DNA sequence: TTGTAGGCGTTATCAG
DNA sequence: CTGATAACGCCTACAA
């Protein structure tokens, strides 16, 4: 340690953390020594001695998914220059992984935690409830928050998209779904209930798979759908990757969008507005969600509120575009 | 701590880390107590006492970029059940951010480090060289590895793509580039040198911008390019997002691909093969890169090799598809 | 198989 | 403004 340098000990600690409490002379000598020795304080010792860390743990189910990439960039934007480090955990849509990561995170006594969704296992909820830090659940809303919560209703959003297709006169609606995690299932229910209410639902026009979403998969599912239900005139996709696959497959089959087929995606990825034709989608506020989640978290941390229930509904927006313009 | 429970102390530590060294009876009692108290060992204390951690730090320049998402999923695959946690840092293409994150990571005395690229600042290289752990640089290859390195030559890959366009008879080649970080610039040089050698290079057909790549930006850049050089008959894009934007814009302008325009992207995202027409791209082995990077790292960690220079070149592959099929 | 002693590098607390 | 002392909770080494 830099104690050799001058004739100090804890002063180094002070010089580093609150320079104003140390005389200019010492401060300078210490600064030089630190630079020379390449001294970097030991995070573990600091955490142990102070009993706190500046880690914000973030648990998301996928790193390959654009949706979470946007949330993440919002989180980084929200952190800005706040003195916190985000530590990312990838649960890979697995409850077991989530529990295991939770244990890892909790062992670090994080300053705060951001977790995805409302479908934690009992075990995970138990772990979370023992956490000595504020927690934000993101991506969804419901009335059973562990602590804070920010998101939107996937059920309502999917319902609105479906209503839009109906309103545009599409009657033989199909649903394409991949991955089928709990969020996706809520979207499906939103579709089904709205379609049923409008009298346009048919089980034969629903195709789902547990496989992860890709554009290629969208093309394949749509090909299946067309064979199974040739009279289909509208498709609501679980997400935009699938929708893009449908767009390409429809082009290949010379099925005209929007004249013969209405197409609606979900998430409103950037590319949907640029596609030809542009694709209707449900816009969600992912960046804002990530950003506000950290901001809420940091406020709770700084206010020393270990638990301060609150639910923020960010809503959604059906962006009507060329693919449903008839 | 759980010492109250039985009549033990360090035995708890052993029961948790190497259960076989503790009698079945005690092990069981401890297991119960742990479950009941929700006891989770303190990571900081453990790190401080043992002088080591099982953290693998990963520094990438972007979380919103599919390219790094794939690398990451490879990393997670490579970690599998190995007893390491990955900690992610997002440098956001900033050298300063990278240095700062490096300091944070090094303060945790990580077991290993994965960093992106070969363009670290002097300061960053200095920090890295003081690290007491193995390091893997990913995404590129060169002859100046800090420790281990796995990637490919962006220069050569872009050259090969360009050669492919030339071979297919395209002569008025253009280049579209966004972000223009060092890797992108090497790709540009690969394009330029190859195009010049073939006598088909023209500066007026090159458009670049520091803005980040999006599909929409691809459409815009292509629109500019067509106005500036109406005789253009081939485009090499910096990446697939731009290429997809070109595809859509060409459709809007009724420019036929591949008859009137040859199009080649870079990265070979999954969607390129499904697009209509399918889009030629340069495939890179991102998942494998991430996976092998951790595997190399873990081997070095376990062999206790603090430094074991080696460079792995994963190569690339020009995937010729419909968009250059004439 | 279990326990004891000592210390990891930092910070809180209280003196000087 | 600076320093001494005592933890923080766990692990290594050695002993019983």
User: What pLDDT is stored for residue A28 in this prediction?
Assistant: 87
Examine the pLDDT at A4 and tell me if it is beyond 70. Answer: no
How does strand A55-60 pair with strand A85-90? parallel
User: What pLDDT is stored for residue A217 in this prediction?
Assistant: 98
| Strand residues in A61-110 grouped as ranges (E) | 85-90
**Interior CA angle at A275 toward A274 and A280, to 5°?**
90
Label residue B305 by pLDDT band (50, 70, 90): low
Examine the pLDDT at A1 and tell me if it is beyond 60. Answer: no
Smallest CA–CA distance, residue B157 to chain A, in Å, is 24
How far is residue B218's CA from residue A124's CA, in Å, rounded to a whole number? 43
How far is residue B292's CA from residue A283's CA, in Å, rounded to a whole number? 37
Element (H, E) at A246: helix A240-252
For tokens 């990757």, name the residue: A241
User: What pLDDT is stored for residue A6 in this prediction?
Assistant: 59
Q: Name the residue facing A106 among B40, B45, B53 (closest C-beta).
A: B40
Supply φ then ψ for residue A171, to 5 degrees. -125, -25
CA of A10 to C1' of C10 (A): 8
Average pLDDT over residues B27-49: 89
Chain A environment of B106 (Cβ under 8 Å): 40
Provide the 10 A C-beta neighbour count for residue B144: 9
pTM assigned to the model: 0.93
User: What pLDDT is stored for residue B308 in this prediction?
Assistant: 74
Chain B environment of A73 (Cβ under 8 Å): 63-64
CA of B10 to C1' of C6 (A): 14
Which nucleotide is closest to A24, CA to C1'?
A: D1
User: What pLDDT is stored for residue A9 in this prediction?
Assistant: 65
How far is residue B147's CA from residue B254's CA, in Å, rounded to a whole number? 51
Q: Which residues touch strand C (CB under 7 A)?
A: A 1, 9-10, 13, 16-17, 41-42, 45-46, 48-50; B 7-11, 14, 20-23, 25-26, 45, 48-49, 51
User: What pLDDT is stored for residue A153 in this prediction?
Assistant: 98
CA of A310 to C1' of C16 (A): 49
Examine the pLDDT at B7 and tell me if it is beyond 80. Answer: no
Label residue A5 by pLDDT band (50, 70, 90): low
Chain A environment of B267 (Cβ under 8 Å): none
Would A50-152+286-316 and A154-283 be classified into the same CATH topology? yes
Q: Could B64 and A73 be called an inter-chain contact, meaning their C-beta atoms sit closer than 8 Å?
A: yes
**Of A58-67, B3-12, B87-96, B198-207, which gets the smallest average pLDDT?**
B3-12
Q: Name the residue facing A274 among B44, B87, B219 (closest C-beta).
A: B219
Label residue B2 by pLDDT band (50, 70, 90): low
For tokens 């953390």, name the residue: A17
Contact A242, A212 (CB under 8 A): no
Domain residue ranges in chain B: 2-41, 50-152+286-316, 154-283
How far is residue A239's CA from residue A266's CA, in Å, rounded to a whole number? 4
Contact A265, A280 (CB under 8 A): yes
How far is residue A243's CA from residue A215's CA, in Å, rounded to a whole number? 7
**Of A84-93, A183-192, B299-308, which gets the smallest average pLDDT?**
B299-308
As a whole number of Å, the end-to-end CA separation of chain A is 73
Q: Could B40 and A270 be called an inter-chain contact, meaning their C-beta atoms sit closer than 8 Å?
A: no
Provide the 10 A C-beta neighbour count for residue B325: 14
Examine the pLDDT at B25 and tell me if it is beyond 90. Answer: no
Q: Please state which architecture CATH assigns to domain A154-283.
A: 3-Layer(aba) Sandwich (3.40)
Q: What is the pLDDT of residues A254-279, one digit of tens each?
A: 999 999 999 999 999 999 999 999 99
Q: What is the pLDDT of residues A60-74, one digit of tens each?
A: 999 889 999 999 999
CATH, domain range B50-152+286-316: 3.40.50.2300
How far is residue B239's CA from residue A73's CA, in Å, rounded to a whole number? 20
Q: Is the CB atom of residue B45 positioned under 7 angstroms from any atom of strand D?
A: yes
Label residue B1 by pLDDT band (50, 70, 90): low
Q: Name the residue facing A88 among B45, B66, B88 (closest C-beta).
A: B88
Q: Which residues contact B142 (CB under 8 A, 6 or more apart)?
A: B118, B149, B311
The C-alpha torsion from A302 through A79 and A270 to B114, rounded to 10°, is -130
How far is residue A134's CA from residue A112's CA, in Å, rounded to a whole number? 5
Chain B environment of A45 (Cβ under 8 Å): 44, 48
Distance set, CA A304 to CA A129, A134, A135, A293, A301 (Å): 16, 9, 12, 16, 5
Contact B155, B119 (CB under 8 A): no
For tokens 């927690």, name the residue: A135
Smallest CA–CA distance, residue B48 to chain A, in Å, is 5
Chain B environment of A96 (Cβ under 8 Å): none
By CA distance, what is B68's nearest residue in A?
A: A64
Element (H, E) at A235: strand A234-237
Q: Is B315 left (phi over 0), alpha (psi -120 to 50) or beta?
A: left
Smallest CA–CA distance, residue B205 to chain A, in Å, is 23
Mean confidence (pLDDT) of chain A: 94
Examine the pLDDT at B262 and tell me if it is beyond 60. Answer: yes
Q: What is the pLDDT of residues B118-153, one digit of tens each?
A: 999 999 999 999 888 999 999 999 999 999 999 999
User: What pLDDT is stored for residue B80 in this prediction?
Assistant: 84
Taking the stretch 32-61 of protein chain A, residues with Cβ within 7 Å of any atom in nucleic acid chain D are 45, 48-49, 51
User: What pLDDT is stored for residue A152 in this prediction?
Assistant: 98
By CA distance, what is B87's nearest residue in A?
A: A87
Per-residue DSSP letter, B81: T
User: What pLDDT is stored for residue B8 in this prediction?
Assistant: 65
User: What pLDDT is stored for residue B243 in this prediction?
Assistant: 98
Token pair listed for B116: 């992106």
Q: Could B90 and A104 be called an inter-chain contact, meaning their C-beta atoms sit closer than 8 Å?
A: no
Examine the pLDDT at A301 and tell me if it is beyond 60. Answer: yes
Chain B environment of A104 (Cβ under 8 Å): 43, 85
Q: Name the residue facing B274 among A41, A47, A219 (closest C-beta).
A: A219
Contact B89, B114 (CB under 8 A): no
Examine the pLDDT at A3 and tell me if it is beyond 60. Answer: no
User: What pLDDT is stored for residue B311 in this prediction?
Assistant: 97
């Amino acid at each position: 340690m830099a104690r050799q340098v001058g004739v100090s000990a804890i002063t180094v600690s002070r010089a580093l953390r609150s320079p104003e409490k140390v005389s200019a002379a010492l401060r300078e000598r210490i600064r030089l020594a630190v630079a020379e020795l390449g001294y970097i304080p030991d995070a573990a010792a600091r955490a142990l001695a102070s009993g706190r860390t500046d880690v914000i743990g973030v648990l998301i189910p996928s790193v390959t998914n654009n949706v979470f990439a946007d949330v993440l960039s919002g989180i980084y934007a929200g952190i800005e220059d706040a003195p916190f480090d985000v530590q990312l955990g990838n649960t890979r849509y697995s409850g077991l992984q989530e529990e295991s990561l939770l244990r890892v995170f909790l062992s670090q006594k994080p300053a705060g935690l951001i977790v995805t969704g409302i479908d934690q296992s009992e075990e995970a909820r138990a772990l979370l409830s023992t956490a000595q830090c504020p927690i934000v659940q993101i991506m969804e809303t419901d009335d059973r928050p562990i602590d804070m919560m920010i998101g939107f209703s996937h059920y309502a959003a999917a319902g609105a998209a479906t209503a839009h297709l109906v309103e545009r006169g599409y009657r033989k609606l199909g649903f394409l779904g991949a991955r089928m995690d709990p969020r996706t299932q809520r979207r499906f229910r939103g579709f089904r209930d709205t379609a049923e209410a409008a009298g346009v639902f048919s089980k034969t026009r629903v195709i789902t798979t547990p496989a992860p979403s890709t554009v290629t998969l969208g093309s394949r599912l749509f090909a299946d759908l067309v064979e199974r239900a040739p009279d289909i005139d509208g498709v609501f996709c679980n997400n935009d990757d699938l929708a893009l696959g449908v767009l390409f497959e429809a082009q290949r089959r010379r099925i005209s969008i929007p004249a013969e087929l209405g197409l609606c995606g979900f998430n409103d990825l950037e590319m949907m507005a640029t596609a030809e034709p542009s694709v209707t989608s449900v816009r969600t506020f992912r960046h804002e969600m990530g950003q506000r989640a950290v901001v809420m978290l940091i406020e709770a941390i700084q206010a020393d509120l270990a638990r301060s229930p609150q639910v923020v509904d960010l809503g959604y927006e059906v962006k009507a575009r060329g693919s449903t313009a008839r």
